[in-house]
Amino acid sequence: MSTHTTDVSHIAPREKAEILSQALPYIRKFHGKTIVIKYGGNAMTDPELQQDFAEDVVLLKLVGLNPVVVHGGGPQIEGALSRLGKKGQFIQGMRVTDEETMEVVEWVLAGQVQQDIVGLINAAGGKAVGLTGRDGGMIRAKQLKMVDKDDPAKEHDIGQVGDIVSIDPSVVKALQDDQFIPVVSPIGFGEKNESYNINADVVAAKLATVLQAEKLLMLTNIRGVLDKQGELLTELTPRRIDELVEDGTISGGMIPKIAGAIDAAKSGVNAVHIIDGRVPHSMLLEVLTDQAYGTMISSR
133 carries a ligand binding annotation = no
74 carries a ligand binding annotation = yes
Q: Where are the domains of the chain?
A: 26-298
294 carries a ligand binding annotation = no
Per residue, the 3-state secondary structure of the chain, as one string, reads CCCCCCCCCCCCHHHHHHHHHHHHHHHHHHCCCEEEEEECCHHHHCHHHHHHHHHHHHHHHHCCCEEEEEECCHHHHHHHHHHCCCCCCEECCEECECHHHHHHHHHHHHHHHHHHHHHHHHHCCCCEEEEECCHHHCEEEEECCEECCCCCCCEECCECEEEEEEECCHHHHHHHHCCCEEEEECEEECCCCCEEECCHHHHHHHHHHHCCCCEEEEEECCCCCECCCCCECCEECHHHHHHHHHCCCCCCCHHHHHHHHHHHHHCCCCEEEEEECCCCCHHHHHHHCCCCCEEEEECC
Look at residues 279, 223, 213, 282 and name the one whose alpha carbon lies nearest to residue 254: 223
* CA gap 46, 280 in Å, rounded: 11
Q: Which residues contact 7 (CB under 8 A, 6 or more apart)?
A: none
pLDDT above 50 for 2 = no
Q: Beta partners for 98?
A: none
pLDDT above 90 for 238 = no
For position 1, what pLDDT does the model report? 43
37 falls in which pLDDT band (50, 70, 90)?
Answer: very high
Longest dimension (CA), the chain: 66
Q: At what angle do helices 114-123 and 47-62 cross, to 10 degrees?
A: 60
CATH topology of domain 26-298: Carbamate kinase (3.40.1160)
The answer to whether 187 and 6 have CB atoms below 8 angstroms apart is no
Q: What is the pTM of this model?
A: 0.91
197 carries a ligand binding annotation = yes
pLDDT in tens, 42-65: 778 888 999 999 999 999 999 999
Name the pairing type of β-strands 139-143 and 162-167.
Answer: antiparallel
pLDDT in tens, 166-197: 999 999 999 988 899 999 999 999 999 999 99
Averaged pLDDT of the chain: 88
> Torsions phi, psi of 35, nearest 5?
-125, 120
Q: How many residues does the chain have?
A: 300
For position 232, what pLDDT does the model report? 87
Instruction: Please state the rounded mean pLDDT for residues 133-159.
Output: 92
